[in-house]
Amino acid sequence: MRVIYRLQILALLIFFIRCSFAIDVAITVDDLPAHGNLPANLNRTKIAKTMLAAFKKHGITGVYGFINGDKVTDSDTRNVLKLWVDSGQLLGNHTYSHMDINKNTQEQYIANIKQNEPILQKLMDDTNYKYFRYPFLREGNTKVKRDTVRRFLFDNNYKIAEVTMDFWDYEWNNSYSRCMNKQDKNSINYLKRSYLDASIGAISTAQTLSQLLFKRDIKHILLLHIGAFDAEMLDQLLTQYEKRGVKFISLQDALSDQIYNINSGTIGNVGYTFLNEIRVSRNLHNPEVVSKFYDSIPENRLASICNE
């Protein structure tokens, strides 16, 4: 009886610990159909299949993949988009050429958004593709650019797919390609450990900023990319998140949180997550735990690993 009682107490403790970390997260994926360098003997279709298998394993559908139409160049990349939609995932607009709004006029930027629409209309048919993700998370380095593009998006029934959880996952993809080509197992193991560590840091960072700004946990939006290493690590990332109480929700559900109606008005050359945009607009300093997280991302090592 004592053993059973202890097991019941342990089960309750695990339940309450998970609840205390419970967080709603919508997964989004940028740069379809191709992101980052390819390791030898791997193609874009294989990357997509690996990611889609992980989503299926965890029962996750309706994931918006944000496309750049100029990357659809051959049967391999065309197949990625078809597989994505056929598997129950969705597509949104990421501009035709992954355009940087800060380096172009608002007219050029809007034209680039429009240029992406025919392929979305063809693939999505009657399903809503009007979700927009700013490349580089940059929303304009002048007030005119920011306001003009936002007005175009809203006038044309687009919703902005903001990002509140980001650990710069893209930094690992080219490193992985180099290490795979060298068959450097020790370096690959380091990439795996550091990637998972950073992905957990993204949760605590997002929750800290959410509490700072809104005194509650908001519905979050996670940014990933369709790279070779993202595909390799996706199942482990999802499993790790589930163990920490993450509930995966749709982008539509996440955007129903009233905080996404806020227009921070932030202008500058840097692309911020949505929570950081709001923090900057309120002239608030980053909490120490958040600053430490960003400082912990091993950019320099990722740039140099397997590059000697």
Paired tokens of 65: 């993949």
- Does residue 8 belong to any structural domain of this protein? no
Say how many domains are in the chain: 1
pLDDT of residue 22: 83
CA pair distance 48, 28, nearest whole angstrom = 14
Strands 131-132 and 220-225: unpaired
Residue 30 and residue 78 in contact, taking contact as beta carbons nearer than 8 Å: no
Q: What is the pLDDT of residues 121-152, one digit of tens each?
A: 999 999 999 999 999 999 999 999 999 999 99
pLDDT of residue 16: 38
- Does residue 186 belong to any structural domain of this protein? yes
| Cα–Cα nearest to 267, from 257, 259, 277 | 277
Taking the whole predicted model, whether its pTM rises above 0.85 is answered as: yes
pLDDT of residue 21: 57
Contacts (Cβ under 8 Å, ≥6 apart) of 237? 195, 196, 199
Collapsed DSSP state (helix, strand, coil) of residue 297: coil
- Does residue 1 belong to any structural domain of this protein? no
The amino acid sitting at 158 is Y
Parts of the chain with a pLDDT under 50: 2-20
Q: Which CATH number is 117's domain given?
A: 3.20.20.370
- Does residue 9 belong to any structural domain of this protein? no
CA pair distance 266, 127, nearest whole angstrom = 32
- Does residue 176 belong to any structural domain of this protein? yes
Concatenating the DSSP letter of every residue in 132-172 gives: E--GGG---SSHHHHHHHHHHHHHTT-EE---SB---GGGG
Query: Crossing angle for the helix pair 228-243 and 173-182, nearest 10 degrees?
Result: 110
Residue 32 and residue 95 in contact, taking contact as beta carbons nearer than 8 Å: no
pLDDT of residue 8: 47
What is the DSSP-derived secondary structure letter of residue 103? Answer: G
CA pair distance 239, 142, nearest whole angstrom = 41
- Does residue 139 belong to any structural domain of this protein? yes
- Does residue 16 belong to any structural domain of this protein? no
pLDDT of residue 12: 37
Spell out the alpha helix ranges (H) of the chain.
2-20, 44-57, 75-86, 106-115, 117-124, 143-155, 173-182, 185-214, 228-243, 251-255, 274-281, 288-296, 299-304
Q: What is the pLDDT of residues 55-106, one digit of tens each?
A: 999 999 999 999 999 999 999 999 999 999 999 999 999 999 999 999 999 9
- Does residue 17 belong to any structural domain of this protein? no
Please give the residue range of the domain that contains residue 149: 23-304
